[in-house]
Chains A and B, each alone.
Chain A
Amino acid sequence: MMQKTSIAVAVAAAATLGLAVGGCTTPDAGKPAVAKPAAEAKPAKADYASMSPQALAEYLVFESNSYDLKQPTQEGTTGRERLVQDETMKLCSEAARTGKDLDAKTADRIREIAQASIKYPEGGIKLGDWKVGRELAWSGFGFRTAHNPDKHEPGRAPGANCYNCHQLAEDRTGGTLGPSLTGYGKLRGNSPEVLKYTYDVIYNAHVYFTCTSMPRIGANGVQSQQQIADVMAYLFDPASPVNK
């Protein structure tokens, strides 16, 4: 018994020495150092090849240590919350990936969610200051984190990002991912119906354009009620460069 033990110890010692000399103790490749007891054993690494693309994608987002899920956000949450999808995001992502048209039931559901999300201002929809709206429309600042977080502070509020995707006044270059809004107020007038329609599109465009690329500027908290009023003034005020 004693002899067997000391031989076993000697073999184990020699093996460890052999491993160390052979350079096999590299701390690499995510393999667990110690096997867990069977009862609580988890796979050392998820078997990527056996997962569906959707399951693997979710794993990569939340469990593969790819993103900084604890990174603080400007709205007081963490990186994780920025990556969690709500129902609208899930439905629209799937539609985009498959390229299939939304069926009527799904489209209705998205519109229903969108309508329920819209909060109207106390005292009704009013136009603010077009000069403030002009700067908000131009600004792409706000809510970025990653390697270079935007610092929201008095005098540097998040912008509405409009010019990234839209052409507006002709004194500045806008994008073409969205329709041109040049002459917006001039072309439409400012009846209560047009004001409400415009407010709805800014707040949550899915109510009219299911699975639009347009961000949910109101519903996602990109802009406050006052900021939306100022952007709307930029669109509607006859004095605004948009309508000149």
Chain B
Amino acid sequence: MSKRTLCALPIAMAVAMLAGPSAAQAPENVLQSLIDKHQSQYLTQSPQNLMMMPDNPAYDLIEDGDKLFRQARGPKNASLEKCDFGKGPGMVAGAYVEMPRYFADTGKVMDLESRLVHCMKTLQGFTDEDAAVKTRHGSSSDMMKLQTYIASQSNGMAWNPSTNHPMEKAMRNAGEVLFFRRSGTMDFNCATCHTQDGKRIRASVLPNLRAPHEWTKAISWPAQRVSHDNVRSSQHRVLECVWQMRYPNIKPGSDASIALISYWTDAARGQPAILPDLKR
């Protein structure tokens, strides 16, 4: 081995250690490592779901998403290979765990979904009315295939959203206020359900934001939602929570949703992402 390679080794190892368990570890092994390391009713509530993970239907979406990503599409007949998710054009490895993040070209903090929509519109020429952009939910949607593929390239890596830019700090801090903001018919805020260990709504154990080893699984979307028979996104989860909390409809890619996702990603900082996950 050359001297240069030898010198690079400690750095590479340090980077790998920072990233947590090997990125090559399957999602179910990432989850099992967390289960082995911590006592958590949330993480262990469904041995059946853990057993299903090697056959996660989300894997089909990864394959399709990978193809879609490289396919020339839309009025501009371009692929998404020049889309910058924060680590340079086309760089998807490790990009998702650093989002939401600030993008200078739009002047906004963006989550994966809104950044993807931005690239589909600017690089490929799609508009808000085209199905490719408009349809955000469902395993058969382009959106979910692309998101599931891109997110899977961060499996096993530590959540590490940037908070260097003032906008990133602002959105994360506003997201924290929103997390604790009670309103609506039932006086709910996110904290009502997500700030204690081992609590249940009916039979389901809830993840605790204050237990990062639980929260990493909680925010690991896209995930196959078994009871929906569909792979769901982070934005879909926000929408479902908003619905249950008796708040009005929240728009996909809205700044309020991105602020919340900024806060909830920061809360899982350092923990390995499980992508794609499988949930009830």
Contacts and interface: CB of A to CB of B under 8 A. Distances in A.
Interface residues of B, number: 54
A149 to B, nearest CB: 9
Nearest to A29: B106
Contacts of B15: none
Nearest to A58: B177
A4 interface: no
B176 A97 contact: yes
Given A96-B180, A213-B192, A53 B248 contact: no
Nearest to A48: B170
Given A60-B256, A85-B183, A147-B249, A53 B108 contact: no
Contacts of A80: 248
Classify the interface of chain A: helix, strand, loop or mixed: loop
Contacts of B167: 48-49
B181 A57 contact: yes
Interface stretch (B3-11, B22-30, B200-208): B200-208
B255 A26 contact: no
A104 B200 CA distance: 31
Residue among B167, B180, B184, B251 having the largest count of chain A Cβ atoms under 10 Å: B184
Contact of A175 (B169, B177, B200, B247): B200
Contact of B239 (A49, A147, A173, A221): A147
Contact of A146 (B181, B192, B203, B247): B247
B181 A85 contact: yes
A156 to B, nearest CB: 16
Interface stretch (A9-17, A67-75, A188-196): A67-75
A57 B262 CA distance: 13
A170 to B, nearest CB: 14
A64 interface: yes
B107 interface: yes
B216 interface: no
Residue among B166, B187, B199, B202 having the largest count of chain A Cβ atoms under 10 Å: B187
25 contacts: A28-B106, A29-B108, A48-B174, A56-B170, A57-B174, A57-B178, A57-B181, A67-B251, A79-B248, A82-B246, A83-B248, A84-B183, A92-B187, A93-B182, A97-B177, A143-B246, A146-B243, A148-B243, A165-B201, A175-B202, A177-B199, A177-B200, A215-B188, A220-B185, A221-B185
Given A65-B254, A147-B239, 17 more contacts: A29-B107, A49-B169, A53-B170, A53-B173, A61-B181, A68-B249, A79-B248, A83-B248, A85-B182, A88-B187, A93-B182, A97-B176, A97-B180, A146-B243, A147-B249, A174-B202, A221-B185
Interface of A: 26, 28-29, 48-49, 51, 53-54, 56-57, 60-61, 64-69, 71, 73, 75, 78-80, 82-85, 88-89, 92-94, 96-97, 143-148, 161, 163-165, 173-177, 213, 215-216, 220-222
